[in-house]
Amino acid sequence: MSQLPLISLILPCYNQAANLRQSIPFLLNQSFKNFEIVCVNDGSTDDTKAVIQHFQQLDARVRLVEQNTNRGTLSTRLLGALNANGAYITQFDPDDRLSTNFVLQNLSESLSLQEPDILHFKMRLVFDPPNFKIEPYHWANPRKLQIEPGNLMSSFITDDLSHTTTGKLVKRGVYLRAIVDLRELEEKRVIYIDDFSLMFALANNAETYKVADIEGYDYYTNDESVMGMLSQPKKCLKFLLDTKNVYEACHKIAANNPKKYEAEFLDAFIRKVVGMYTERLYRFSKLNFIEEDKFNMCKIIDAEYLNDLQYNRAIWNLCGYTPKWKTNRKCWTFNV
């Protein structure tokens, strides 16, 4: 590259007014200036739009993209990428931070030396008070310094490539191809594990990968958020439905890949994501106040997973593929 590339930061925003008042000034303070902040307002009911417009007037690098109705995180991320002008795109949550004011400068210089489809940099976990601490985000950080060209899909399935889009700069062309892969899933208003599906589609459309030894992204977390979701039946049910929809969409992507990753994908998905799913099914079954129709819906979803499992077992036997997990009926059903 003859000059440092324009970088687009995509901020999905649903009722994020308070966080945007802090995160946008922080981003604008970066020493590197060749970037844009694409704020996608996903039908917010607070002052999110007004806050974005305020910063638009102060700095032309802040852009507003709107969805009149709330369509979920996946749709918001894809719309942001579709409207981005940058050569490279990265996802940024409004309640997180870049680690220093020099992150984008360092990343852009790394890109100028090579032009990978995906540049992966390091993330840190920041825990809110009273348990404040900062530690490496091992789950999201690079696990291999090198991945052979054309092997990103396989690396995603084997966990050598992390499943989050944050902490990665991705070529705009790769994003545009991934958007095509996810069109059907986008219509289903996915808000949980959307990052898994998006990163899966990006890996499906990328060829080259590079690691930058730069701590660049601080991911803010707290233990109460997960427990809060598990204690609310409607949110728990939404998680289960999103898991099912993501499973079906990624299954289709894997099956259509020229290298035919279908068996490997199903194996990996069952071992990882369905593990989360069944854990929540079990917890969900213990909630005495859940409405009967929603509880029955959970049982229907569970039955569909079981049917897929039995079908895939037969396919694997025919093709000689040996899955990496051992079945245990107790893992798949809950007591009712």
HEC secondary structure over 264-277: HHHHHHHHCHHHHH
Can you list the pairs that 297-305 forms with residues at least 24 positions away whose Cβ atoms lie under 8 Å? 297/237, 297/241, 298/237, 298/240, 299/336, 301/240, 301/241, 301/244, 302/278, 302/332, 302/333, 302/334, 304/244, 305/244, 305/247, 305/274, 305/277, 305/332
pLDDT at residue 228, as a whole number? 54
29: DSSP letter: T
Same domain, 117 and 244: no
Classify residue 62: in a domain, yes or no.
Answer: yes
Domain-terminating residue out of 174, 189, 221: 221
Number of domains in the chain: 2
pLDDT band at 250 (very low <50, low <70, confident <90, very high): confident
Same domain, 104 and 158: yes
- For 1, residues 6+ apart whose C-beta sits below 8 A from its C-beta are 111, 112, 115
Same domain, 37 and 97: yes
Classify residue 2: in a domain, yes or no.
Answer: no
pLDDT surpassing 90 at residue 47: yes
Classify residue 1: in a domain, yes or no.
Answer: no
Same domain, 129 and 158: yes
Instruction: Give me the mean pLDDT over the 216-222 stretch.
Output: 84
d(Cα 146, Cα 143) in Å, to the nearest integer?
9
Query: Phi, psi at residue 241, to the nearest 5°?
Result: -65, -40
Range of the domain at 308: 226-332
Give the residue with greater pLDDT, 303 vs 1.
303
Do 269 and 250 touch, CB atoms closer than 8 A? yes
pLDDT at residue 241, as a whole number? 79
Helix axes of 292-319 and 262-271: crossing angle, nearest 10 degrees: 140
The segment with the largest mean pLDDT, out of 87-101, 140-154, 249-263, is: 87-101
Same domain, 199 and 238: no
Do 29 and 1 touch, CB atoms closer than 8 A? no
Same domain, 35 and 152: yes
Structural element, H or E, at residue 123: strand 118-127
Instruction: Give me the mean pLDDT over the 57-68 stretch.
Output: 96
pLDDT band at 279 (very low <50, low <70, confident <90, very high): low
- For 92, residues 6+ apart whose C-beta sits below 8 A from its C-beta are 9, 10, 11, 23, 27, 98, 166, 217
Instruction: Give me the mean pLDDT over the 33-51 stretch.
Output: 97
- Give the Cα-Cα-Cα angle 308, 286, 299 (nearest 5 degrees): 25
Task: Please give the structure tokens belonging to residue 124.
Answer: 């840190």
Amino acid at 298: C
Task: Please give the structure tokens belonging to residue 241.
Answer: 């439905």
Task: Please give the structure tokens belonging to residue 61.
Answer: 């690098």
Domain-terminating residue out of 174, 203, 221: 221
Same domain, 208 and 235: no
Structural element, H or E, at residue 215: strand 209-221
Q: What is the DSSP string of 129-176?
A: TTS-EEEE-TTTS-S-S---TT-HHHHHHTTSS-S-STTEEEEHHHHH
d(Cα 242, Cα 233) in Å, to the nearest integer?
14
pLDDT surpassing 50 at residue 258: yes
Express each pLDDT in 84-128 by its tens digit: 999 999 999 999 999 888 899 999 998 888 899 999 999 998 887
pLDDT band at 331 (very low <50, low <70, confident <90, very high): very low
pLDDT band at 77 (very low <50, low <70, confident <90, very high): very high
Lowest mean pLDDT among 29-33, 88-92, 207-211, 309-313: 309-313
Same domain, 151 and 29: yes
